[in-house]
Structure 1
């Protein structure tokens, strides 16, 4: 080990001498640098090296290199010839990264840091090797393939290499067979072929490869436009020539060809005609309207092979439509995507709804797709097309889900539009749709909720109560329907009448949905609100909550741990009863309440925590201390999370300066806890006043170029 470290240190000598000769570092600083590097090298050579040692070494070298550059820029008035020290620091960082990745080659985050450092330093040759090594070790990580292709295309302007990174992936599903005649050099390495064959189902890779092809076509079109050889520019030129009638006086006229000269040319006429014919043929094929590449042939092939690899994912296909809208002239490609969705998902409700809503979405100016604006003249026509398509959908697929999607579409646009006539149109159509669905016996809780919301917004009290009642009878397990019904009773009846009616509805709803935490919490909040509004007196509230605690306990009377939603309900209802008793009548009533519940409701640890919190907020004096001790003792009887409960009990006793009692409880805990070692560790942390999260392993390095503590501080 010492020999290896000494070898590495000896290699630093020329670099350090160069730094001293340039007056970038003093002799004292160079000694400190040597000492730091020695410590780092020995740390890397320990029997079990750690990733953090490599990261510390890299961070130190990066800070040192940044300091060297700043000092050099201040000392040199004009750029000087480069010497060894100008690139030795960066080379050393690369070397440490390589050693780290030989040891921890499975760490993706370390590879990404290495890639980012190489990019920041413009090491293009090294980057190529890094990507090859990373992909070889991690062929199933789409992020690495995408980064490699993006770097090849954007930084190196190498579409062949970039395309190859994705095409190798597509080899397994047959894309290479279709493109081999035109893109022969793409599959450059067997390694990439083997790597991407493992990932035929990676949606992200397909999307990014598709985006790559679209971006490449877009760049070609932009170049043609700049050169004036695109289809639009050529059309404008022909139009100008026609308008000028071929008599532009400002044009430079070519000299006329005499008969003799023409005869001389005729000797090679066949060759000239052949060349001209070839040029015309090439020009014709390169026209945008005819050239299949510029028409998006490659993108279409990529998409077709992608849906073969991932055939049953609507969201996957919809993403291709979004990508198309990021580029110019997306109409043909979009239509192909929609046609394949209609072909392959003709019986899927979500797909039909997606296609039915397409007329309302267009390409936005910023890229991507956006909904038509309401003031757009095309909006009304698009709405009509959508309605016609949805009408066709519910006829072809007469299912509840299809009607729900139709009603959801109408509800969404009804809330979006502000123009009165349009809102009235959507409201009328939505009511008609919901009524038709019910007549066809295609009912669901979701459809009824939409119906109730629409009628409530129109203040149609009679109909909405009738429909809500029918809905609760048809779907008694829908909590949303019951809560809507209770809310409607509260709005439509007098205060005295509504309290009894609402309580009865809550009781009925809870009898059918006893395991719904949402319904129980709504009931407790309703009781508390009625007490705050002085509608219910304290004794009535106590009676209602006592009955609620009895029913909640009856759900799971034998368990003491809060491990399910039903136990969470019991914790919440019992704890709320104690808290509300303290708020209504003070701590004395709260103590009576929780003692009664402890004796008859099988309380959990969460209940005792709620009671202790009440003692902290409302209790005072020695009585509060004794009652808190009683609660801790009762909580320890549960034999649940005893280590944490004992530690909390000891901490409480120490806070009240009951040190002898705390010592006794600690001795008792040592005999009763299951994991004594873990308890001792947590107890020591408590005594030290620090948690494991507060302890730090790494110090923060200095980045100040004037502060040489970064160099001189020992490890």
Structure 2
């Protein structure tokens, strides 16, 4: 290893001497550079080198070369213009370090990307080509590397050969990774970008269709202009000229015909390449490789919207979605919404700016006159879809569409139109018996927003009857139970039914717990009644939830909520004595978890600010350690508490007891020492 380090250091001598001779660095500075490099070389020459050592070495060399450039810029005279070995030795060394690093860590894609970024930064195009070849050779399934290579080939080497190279790269990438969505989208984007650049050039030269049409219109206007003496008239074509042309040879006529056909072929409206034929072919191949993926196909529409004159291409994508996914509710909803997609693009922006603009303005603005026409077209398509696809999901997507836009628009007539349409849709959906849980939730919220609580109560009754296991629907019904003028059971009776139907629902128990506390605060329930309700709830969750003795996460979460809330309430209602009586009863009868003990200990800790509660706290810890299951957390907390109370002898005693019961003694020792 020492010989290799010495060899590498000796290779640096000519460049270092050049730095001294040109006055860029002093001898002392060069000596420090050598020491620093020797240290780095020793680290990366170890039997098992670390990637961080290579990166630190590279970072040091980059900083050193930046300093060299700054000092050279300050030089005056001929010495500043002279190019010598030290001018390119820095980059050469960095490239060598990257090469050694990637040889050691071939599987690190991020390291390869850093290597590529540096080569791009210093514009080392010849080296960069080889880096891409090596990186792709080691990582043929990494789409990012293929895309970087193709983009660099196209953007940096802007010529026909490079463009062909781009296509070859993308085609090779797709042969290896035919199901990679990112590669298909990038290939598609590059094809459109190539055509877009051609169109821009034609526009600049004035040979695009719009420019020609404008020029022809100007010529017609000129012909209509009266002769005021300032206009030079071109000679008109006479009958004799036409006769002379007819008498010309067949060869001349053939040449003229060929010239005319060539000119026609260059027209954007006729030329299939300029109309996006290649992009369409890429898309067709993509959906064969990855069929029936709506999100994948929608990605092509998003890319289309970055460019100009893409209505025909977007229509092709929409047509294929309808052809292949006509029975998919999500696909039909996407097709219905397409009328609201915004397609206008600012051509002065760059590609990335266009992408951001397109994403921000995905839909037509609600203030745009086109919006009303577009949303009516969407509604018409949705109406057809819900008739053809008799599924709850299709109706749900339609309802969500109407609800979202109703909340978005501010114009009163439009909001009223969407509200009436929503009411009609809810009733039609109910008539067909296709109301889903989500639609019921939206329906109830919609009625509540319109202050139509009586109807909302009736809908909530039907909802829980249709979906008794949905906790959210039960919550809506319970909240609406006390509507003035309505007829329903008491909230307490409804909670009892809801919890019988949903014994393992944390949402339901959380709602019930909040309701109990609210009733006590409102003095609807007395302290004795509240205590009894909490006690009954504790027994209920212990009996109804599966496995009384076996712990489960869902069961524990509900138990912690109710039992901890019971103790907290007891502390508020009856002080520390009431809290202690409550938690002792719970520990004795209801199999609490360690989280419950933490709640009790927190209450004791608060009490300890005024009175000594160490005996109660230790008693709680002792009871907690007798629980089954993983005891690491319990023992760690207990030992930490005893140390905080300066009871080191008892802490050691508990530690000895703990190491006999915890599964991983080494891990426990580490945690204890923290």
Give the TM-score, by structure 2 length: 0.90
- Aligned mates of 1:158, 1:633 — CA distance in 2: 80
Flag the 1:535–1:81 CA change in 2: closer, same or farther, 3 A: farther
Q: Distance in 1 between matches of 2:166 and 2:286?
A: 16
Residue 204 (structure 2) pairs with residue 213 (structure 1): no
Match in the other structure for 2:497: 508
CA contact (8 A) 1:288 1:295 kept: yes
Residue number in structure 1 paired with 2:285: 305
What is residue 374 of structure 1 aligned with on the other side?
Answer: 366
Alpha-carbon distance in structure 1 between the residues aligned to 2:176 and 2:318: 29
Deviates more, 1:578-587 or 1:245-254: 245-254
Q: How does 1:88-487 map to 2 (within 5 A)?
A: 88-158=89-159, 161=162, 164-165=165-166, 167=168, 169-170=170-171, 193=172, 196-245=174-223, 275-365=255-345, 366-367=357-358, 370-487=362-479
Deviation by residue 1:595-654 (Cα, 9 ceiling, x = unmatched): 111111111122222222232334336642222222222222225443343332222222
Cα displacement string for residues 225-261 of structure 1 (whole angstroms, at most 9, x for unaligned residues): 11111111111111111221299987899999xxxxx
Q: Hey, what's the Cα distance between the residues in 1 that align with 2:496 and 2:19?
A: 84
**What's the offset of the Cα at 1:58?**
1.6
Please report how far the alpha carbon of residue 432 of structure 1 lies from its aligned counterpart in structure 2 after TM superposition: 1.8
The equivalent of 1:15 in structure 2 is: 15
- Which segment is superposed worse, 666-675 or 59-68? 666-675
Match of 1:187 in 2: none
RMSD, aligned α-carbons: 2.9
Aligned position for 1:698 = none
Q: How many residues align?
A: 651
* Cα deviation code 1:388-424 (max 9, x no counterpart): 2222212211222222222222222222222333222
Number of the residue aligned with 1:699: none
Q: SS in structure 2 opposite 1:363?
A: coil
Q: How many angstroms does 1:76 deviate by?
A: 4.6
CA distance in structure 1 between the partners assigned to 2:166 and 2:605 by the alignment: 64
Show the counterpart of 2:57.
57
**Do the aligned residues in 1 keep the contact of 2:174 with 2:184 (CA within 8 Å)?**
no
Relative to structure 1, the CA distance from residue 649 to residue 341 in structure 2 (aligned partners, 3 Å threshold; closer, same or farther) is same
- The alpha carbon displacement at 1:305 in A equals 0.8
- Whether contact under 8 Å (2:594, 2:634) holds in the other structure is no
In 2, the alpha carbon distance for the partners of 1:622 and 1:656 equals 14
Q: Distance in 2 between matches of 1:314 and 1:354?
A: 9
Aligned positions of 1:677-696 closer than 5 A: 677-684=666-673, 686=674
- Mapped contact 1:515–1:565 kept (Cα < 8 A): yes
2:638 maps to which residue?
649
| Conservation of the 8 A alpha-carbon contact between 2:395 and 2:435 | no
Number of the residue aligned with 1:176: none
Tell me by how many angstroms 1:313 deviates.
0.4
Shift of residue 141, structure 1, vs aligned partner:
0.9
CA separation of 1:50/1:511 partners in 2, compared to 1, >3 Å: closer, same or farther?
same
Contact 1:168–1:197 (8 Å) recurs in 2: no
Measure the CA separation in 1 of the matches of 2:124 and 2:525.
76
Aligned to 1:489, the other structure's residue is in SS state: coil
The structure-2 alpha-carbon separation of the partners of 1:594 and 1:68, relative to structure 1 and needing over 3 Å to count, comes to farther
Contact 2:630–2:662 under 8 Å retained in 1: no
Which of 519, 523, 529 does residue 508 from structure 2 map onto? 519
Output one character per residue of 1:44-63: Cα deviation in whole Å (capped at 9) or x when no partner.
Answer: 22222222221222222222
3-state SS of the aligned residue for 1:370? coil
1:303 Cα deviation after fit = 0.8
* Aligned twin of 1:558: 548
Q: 1:136 to 1:572 in 2, by over 3 A?
A: same
Distance 2:664 2:387 in 1: 66
- Which residue of 2 is the match for residue 630 of structure 1? 619
CA shift digits 1:136-194 (9 cap, x unpaired): 11111111111111222222225654564455554xxxxxxxxxxxxxxxxxxxxxx3x
Call closer, same or farther: CA 1:128–1:618 in 2, change over 3 Å.
farther
**How do 1:536-575 and structure 2 match up within 5 A?**
536-554=525-543, 555-559=545-549, 561=551, 563-575=552-564
Change (3 A) 1:669 1:480: closer
* 1:663 aligns to 2:652 (yes or no): yes
Residue aligning to 2:352: none
Which residue of 1 is the match for residue 605 of structure 2?
616
Give 1:26 deviation, angstroms.
Answer: 2.4
CA contact (8 A) 2:586 2:592 kept: yes
CA distance 1:327–1:582, change in 2 (3 Å): same
Report the Cα distance in structure 1 between the residues aligned to 2:141 and 2:455, rounded to whole angstroms. Answer: 58
Cα offsets for 1:177-235 (capped at 9, x unmatched): xxxxxxxxxxxxxxxx3x54231111111111111111111111111111111111111
Structure 1 regions of 5+ residues with no counterpart?
A: 171-192, 257-264, 687-715
Structure 2 CA distance for partners of 1:643 and 1:481, relative to 1, 3 Å: closer
CA contact (8 A) 1:43 1:49 kept: yes
- For residues 389 and 248 of structure 2, the distance between their equivalents in structure 1, rounded to whole angstroms, comes to 71
Q: Do 1:152 and 1:159's aligned partners in 2 also have CA atoms closer than 8 Å?
A: no
Contact 1:372 1:379 in 2 (8 A): yes
Q: Provide the secondary structure at the position in 2 that maps to 1:245.
A: helix
* More moved, 68-77 vs 447-456: 68-77
TM value normalised by structure 1:
0.85
For residues 398 and 616 of structure 1, what CA distance do their matches in structure 2 show? Answer: 61
The alignment partner of 1:371 has SS state of coil
Once residues 102 and 628 of structure 1 are traced to their aligned partners in structure 2, the CA distance between those partners, rounded to angstroms, is: 60
What residue is the counterpart of 1:528 in the other structure? Answer: 517
